[in-house]
Structure 1
Amino acid sequence: KHIRMGNLPVDTLRPLDPDTFAADSSAVVDFLAGYYRDVDKYPVRAADLEPGRLRKLLPDAAPEWGEPMERILDDVRRDVLPGLTHWQSPTFFAYFPMNASAAGFAGEMLSVGLNVVPFVWVASPAATELEGVVVDWMARLVGLPDRFVFSGGGGGVLQGSTCEAVVCTLAAARDRALRGIGHEGIVRLVVYASDQTHATFQKGARLVGIPPANFRVIRTTAASGYALTGNAVRAAVEDDEARGLVPLYLCATMGSTGLGAVDPVRELGEVARRHGMWLHVDAAYAGSAAICPEYQGYLDDAELADSVSMNPHKWFLTNMDCCCLWVASPATLTAALSTYPEYLKNVDGPAGGAKAPPAGVDYKDWQISLSRRFRAMKLWFVLRRYGASGMRAYIRRHVAMAEWFERAVSADERFEVVAPRRFSLVCFRLRPPSTDQASDDGGVNRELVAAVNASGRAFMTPFVVDGKFVIRLAVGGAMTEMRHVRDAWELLQRTAEQLLGQR
């Protein structure tokens, strides 16, 4: 007697039965198509922020018997969607965008469906080689020098996030330095970044063993556009060297999270070279813009860098997760991350003869974990489906929307732009009433962003710079159009008028 599992008897369960696979996958695609069709009807931020809501709705234990796909998707629609913040909403302007596209989804489906694990070349040669191709394509698109492509002696890898890329490059820099001063010298190593640099770098430094007291956060000012300057770094480095410490690693940012600030790569690169530091360029968000010639100047001096990273999943229509990391010296990176157990060596044929992978690439040695996903497929699909010209138009359209929003803010005397617009990020605030000017603790601007977000019609996030509480509007959603930006501005104006009228 068969026991039913949804539409399948348990004793004949075939998890990859082609007919069931096609039916279930089609149901999910139809569900997502309907979701994207109606995503603008959902409050962009989770409507119900009560902690524990979903736990109350779901059973305490997993089901004993399988259930039909239709029933599971009904539960997603009823129980899960209302508790999501909808990152693909056209009025999501918070954080930085998390892009998605039909091409990225198709590539992700193939990646997940094929389900290969290309940790060594022989484990899936084509997956390894496709990854090498697409990271070289991307390096050339954003204008990186030849030293970061495989034919130029460097190379790239697809990580999951900037966090992973940071830990890997910090480990490489650490081991390179310790070969000269001994492992006990780790307590002398110092990492440098600006007060605009993402906190990921502080976390990464701790993870590779750098004492927290040896992380230098260097102050930036409005005079430099909140960019890190060579003089400020030089002063900090020379002070540390005078105390017997060893400068290890310097981060330059192209498009900082708070304000979109851009650090001068050549200026910082020259300081890094002079003092033997590893220079990493973090272009997680704005690196995508460098495919446009008008933005490539920010990376013109990357020949002085040791590594560069950018996230196609932010602003390059590549579904989460995908981070390009390029290094000028792969050997330095793999020396810190390699392991060579017998069962992971590349072998070919029944005789077990060793076969070296192309360009010496076993990607397990370019990342933290051993296992890895076939991320190259989705980035390849995006590049093939939309082409470089299509992607440039996509980036420029968002920049144009941000330019319009910046002009609109500047034209309203109640508001001010706090820092010059960079790329598609605008940082602004409502000019505080005179009673708030002294402390400027956020006051009316905290109320403004809270009211806008609570409306469900837009979602923005704040930042604090020079004691000023500012609001960030980051344009970059795959479904965002100019009308959504205009609507967000009208919402801000109406809400501001109401708040000021209550004071």
Structure 2
Amino acid sequence: MSHDSRDGDEAVPHLSPEEFRKLGHRMVDWIADYWSRLESFPVRSQVSPGDVASKLPAHPPEEGLAGEQGWDAIFRDLEDVVVPGLTHWQSPSFFAYFPANASGPAVLGELLSAGLGVQGMLWSTSPAATEMETRVLDWLAELTALPASFRSTSATGGGVIQGTASEATLVAMVAARERVRRHGAPADAQWVAYSSTQAHSSVLKAAMLCGVARGADDTVHVRQLETDAHFALRPDVLERAIREDLAAGRRPFFVCATVGSTSSGAVDPVRAVAGVLERTGVKAAGCWLHVDAAWAGAALVCDEHRALLDGVELVDSFAFNPHKWLLTNFDCNAFYTRDRSALLDALSVTPEYLRNAASASGAVIDYRDWQVPLGRRFRALKLWFVLRHYGARGLRTHVRGHVKLAGDFETWVREDARFELAAPRSLSLVCFRLKPLPGEASDATDARNRALLERVNSTGRLFLTHTVLPSVDGTPARYVLRMAIGGTYTKARHVRAAWDALSAAAG
């Protein structure tokens, strides 16, 4: 291990380039081996609370590792401490939540980003970090058929990488409030944000962070509106709520439409929602329409799914997560706006120590003004690697394969008299459950479905999660299972094995 010392100061035990090279090769080998043996692990971690912590020392080490042999202990701990405590999100039999794709090109991009150690807050702090991000976001906008007004080449729009869809929602909400203020809203306005009950919890959290919502139970300043039979936002309900708030002297400023909700993959009617903002006059007053397509947005690389975009030319911002279903590891959210000036007005703060000639010229983008934090990693590298490695054709093949597998799973559910679909299939997401038995109370049906889910998950052979879908036309809310297909390595045999396990466990 190399040592850095100055004038007799104690040496710092940095890795030499050669030591780093050896350990780096070893770690990459470990990751490659991990991927090759994913199917040997129980998908959901089998440890109990506190098991991992009990294997870790209570106090930090005083002395560091002694040479390469010292690192043997770290690799042993990876196997003995870390791996048993993992739920294996990259397992081909992981069907829970939504996918969290990792891929070789993305991981290499992440490694390179860490090795370069760039802090890309300003154009001047690394021009390549900024200009590559701008270009790959424009590539992604083209691949997903976003209108030209969302690209950096437009007069008013552009894209940026946020960490998550939750951050994108917060940024959009802050920009929305700033724009409505520019349209004359008073400083003490009673702001109101709108979404469906099926929108992601990040809408409420963003309102809390902005000071719009007084708390998680504030139903005055955050209106979570009832949905239709397919769990999509109802434009008539939105219009009624907006007119009520206007009459009460409140200020509608933000609407979030969801394309691919977390529970069931529901798609809000974006064009109709935009029409409501136009008819009620709140659009003219600056009200912002944001589309959260965190999961489903990846499907837009395929022509046959472009109907999801209907009306997107009328919205102010659009965001989706390549880190969910587009082979780019967490974290990577693609956020686009047609009104970057509102974003900059809301988020720009320029202390003296950040002033520089390039920024002052107005000829460059400083992405620190497009996000909440100041600092930012060189995340564009991993997205660049993914787009170059797979190409548009590879990405389309990835998405289409999973949609087909979900169609197969949907067919098996339909053909089994014990099961029923709980919502229309959305791309690669299938919501289903055991049917109620004759005369069975709804809570008893829910209990049977909870038991089924736990039986299959406890085997370790697969992992699914659940949701509760709201009441429709007077029927009770329902506990349902979610089959979310989208893993990097998921094939037909894994989906078939999951169905066989569910079928056997159903009795």
The offset of 1:190, in angstroms, is 0.6
Q: Distance in 2 between matches of 1:387 and 1:31?
A: 27
Contact 1:122 / 1:357 at 8 angstroms: preserved in 2?
A: no
The offset of 1:18, in angstroms, is 1.5
Q: How does 1:42-441 map to 2 (within 5 A)?
A: 42-48=41-47, 50-67=48-65, 68-153=70-155, 154-179=157-182, 180-185=184-189, 188-211=190-213, 212=218, 213-222=220-229, 225-273=230-278, 274-276=281-283, 277-347=287-357, 356=361, 358=363, 360-439=364-443
Q: Distance in 1 between matches of 2:489 and 2:498?
A: 14
Q: Distance in 2 between matches of 1:219 and 1:440?
A: 26
The offset of 1:16, in angstroms, is 5.5
Structure 1 residue identity aligned to 2:317: S
Aligned counterpart, 2:480:
470
Contact 1:440 / 1:468 at 8 angstroms: preserved in 2?
A: no
Return 212-221 or 370-379, whichever deviates more.
212-221
TM-score after normalising by structure 2: 0.92
Structure 1 residue identity aligned to 2:31: L
Aligned counterpart, 1:351:
none
Contact 2:436 / 2:445 at 8 angstroms: preserved in 1?
A: no
The offset of 1:300, in angstroms, is 3.4
Q: Distance in 2 between matches of 1:151 and 1:488?
A: 46
Deviation per residue, 1:309-358 (Å, 9 max, x gap): 0000000000110001001111100111111112112336xxxxx76364
Secondary structure, aligned partner of 1:469: strand
Structure 1 residue identity aligned to 2:149: R
Secondary structure, aligned partner of 1:251: strand
The offset of 1:438, in angstroms, is 4.4
Shift in alpha-carbon separation, 1:200–1:71, aligned structure 2, 3 A: same
The offset of 1:271, in angstroms, is 1.6
The offset of 1:128, in angstroms, is 0.3
Contact 2:93 / 2:498 at 8 angstroms: preserved in 1?
A: yes
The offset of 1:440, in angstroms, is 5.3
Structure 2 residue ranges without an equivalent (≥5): 5-9, 472-476
Aligned counterpart, 1:18:
17
Q: Distance in 1 between matches of 2:246 and 2:164?
A: 32
Contact 2:228 / 2:234 at 8 angstroms: preserved in 1?
A: no
Structure 1 residue ranges without an equivalent (≥5): 1-6, 349-353, 498-503
Contact 2:257 / 2:291 at 8 angstroms: preserved in 1?
A: yes
Q: Distance in 2 between matches of 1:480 and 1:145?
A: 32
Contact 2:2 / 2:15 at 8 angstroms: preserved in 1?
A: no
Q: Distance in 1 between matches of 2:253 and 2:444?
A: 37
Q: Distance in 2 between matches of 1:438 and 1:127?
A: 54
Secondary structure, aligned partner of 2:145: coil
The offset of 1:492, in angstroms, is 0.2
Secondary structure, aligned partner of 1:250: strand
Contact 2:410 / 2:430 at 8 angstroms: preserved in 1?
A: yes
Secondary structure, aligned partner of 1:420: coil
**Identity, % of aligned positions:** 45
Secondary structure, aligned partner of 1:308: strand
Q: Distance in 1 between matches of 2:92 and 2:365?
A: 40
The offset of 1:65, in angstroms, is 1.6
How much is the aligned-residue C-alpha RMSD, in angstroms?
1.5
Aligned residues: 480
Q: Distance in 2 between matches of 1:341 and 1:33?
A: 45
Contact 1:40 / 1:89 at 8 angstroms: preserved in 2?
A: yes
Contact 2:295 / 2:320 at 8 angstroms: preserved in 1?
A: yes
The offset of 1:246, in angstroms, is 1.1
Structure 2 residue identity aligned to 1:18: P
Secondary structure, aligned partner of 2:223: strand
Deviation per residue, 1:414-458 (Å, 9 max, x gap): 000111101100000011223533445611001000111111111
Secondary structure, aligned partner of 2:422: strand
Contact 2:435 / 2:445 at 8 angstroms: preserved in 1?
A: no
The offset of 1:69, in angstroms, is 2.2
Q: Distance in 1 between matches of 2:360 and 2:343?
A: 22
The offset of 1:272, in angstroms, is 2.3
